[in-house]
Amino acid sequence: MNQNHLGNEILKSVSRSFYLTIRVLPRELREPIGLAYLLARTSDTIADSTTAPAEVRLKNLAAFREMIEQGLDSVKLRMLRAEIVPADTSERYLIDCADECLTWLHSVFSVDRADIVDVLRTITRGQELDLVRLNSCAGTVANTQELEEYTYLVAGCVGEFWTRICFRHVANYASLDIEAMEGLGRNFGKGLQLVNILRDLPADLKSGRCYLPNDELAAAHIHPKELLTKPFGAHEIVEKWIARAEELLADGKRYIDAIRSWRLRYACILPWALGVRTLLYLRKHPPLETSVRIKVPRHEVRAIMVRSLFDAVKR
C-alpha cells in the first residue's frame, strides 16, 4: 500500500469529514496532518475498544506509543491485532493498517516526524490517564484541573501541533506570532473536545464514565450514578461547562481570524462552526435532560459547510 492509498482510502474509511478537510489543505500539509490524524485515531481506537479489558487496552496503548517513538515491532504489532478487535469495521481496518501508518511515519521529513511523535506522546498519555481514572471505582474526573488537563492532553496539544506545522510550511501563515497562535490553538482544541464531552454525557454515563468533576457534583450533593435519573440537580454544572466551551471556542475564532490562507481558514472554520452550533443545541436541550443524543442535523451541516467556505474566501 503506497502513501497515496493511505492518505485516501483509510481517511475516507474512518472519517469522511476529515478526509474532505485534508483535501482542501495545501499539499505540503496533507502528509504530516493526515498521518498524525490516522495515528491519533488508531490510539483512540485502542483506548476505546470495549471488547478488551481496560488493562489490555493500556498495555497495547503503551506498545503503540513505543512503536511510534522507536519504530515497528512485529511482536507488539501481532499482540495489538490479536487483542484489540473493534466491533466497527472501519476501526478494525485502521488497526489492520497500523504497520503501514507506522512505516509511513518513519519516512516523513524529520522535523515533522518529531512533531508527530511529540503530539502522539501527549495524546496517548491523556488516553492512558482517562482509562485509569474513569475505570476506577469513582469512574469520574476528580476536579476542574483534571478535566482541563484531559482536554489539553487529547485535543489542546493538537492545536499546538497544527500551528507549528503550518508556521513551518506556510509562508506568512498568520498575522499573529507563533507563540500567540499556539496559545489560541491550544484553547481551540480544548473547546472542541469539551463540546464532544458535553454532547456525549448520557452515553458515557451509561457506560460508567462521568466527565463532570466529582468535587462539583459532591458540592451539589449528586452522585454520578444519579445523573441519568436526577439530571436537573446538575443543570448549573452543565451550564458552567457549556460557558467554558464557548469561552474556549471564542479563542478558536480569534485563531481563525488571524490565518491568512483561505484554505487554512476553511479547514478551521468548519469544526469551529459545528462546535458553536452544537453548543446552541446543548443550551436549548441540556444533554442530561433530553432523551436523544444532541447532533447537528445533516442539512445544517451541509449549510455550515457552504457558509464556512464563503466566510473563508470572502476576506
In tens, the pLDDT along 27-66 reads 899 999 999 999 999 999 999 998 999 999 999 999 999 9
Domain that holds residue 216: 3-314
DSSP E strand stretches across the chain: none
Q: What is the distance between the alpha carbons of residues 183 and 195, in angstroms, rounded to a whole number?
A: 19
What are the grid coordinates assigned to 15, written together? Answer: 472519517
Under DSSP, the state recorded for 153 is: I
Domain CATH code at residue 40: 1.10.600.10
Does the reported pTM lie above 0.85?
yes
What are the grid coordinates assigned to 38, written together? Answer: 490516522
Residue 146 · residue 213 · CB < 8 Å: yes
Q: Minimal CA–CA distance to 283: which of 254, 250, 229, 245?
A: 245
Domain count across the chain: 1
Residue 125 · residue 153 · CB < 8 Å: yes
Handedness of CA 302, 154, 103, 24 (dihedral sign): positive
Three-state SS at 143: coil
In tens, the pLDDT along 197-253 reads 999 999 999 888 899 999 999 999 999 989 988 888 899 999 999 999 999 999 999
In tens, the pLDDT along 136-182 reads 655 788 899 999 999 999 999 999 999 999 999 999 999 999 999 99
β-strand partners of 210: 140
pLDDT at 122 over 90: yes
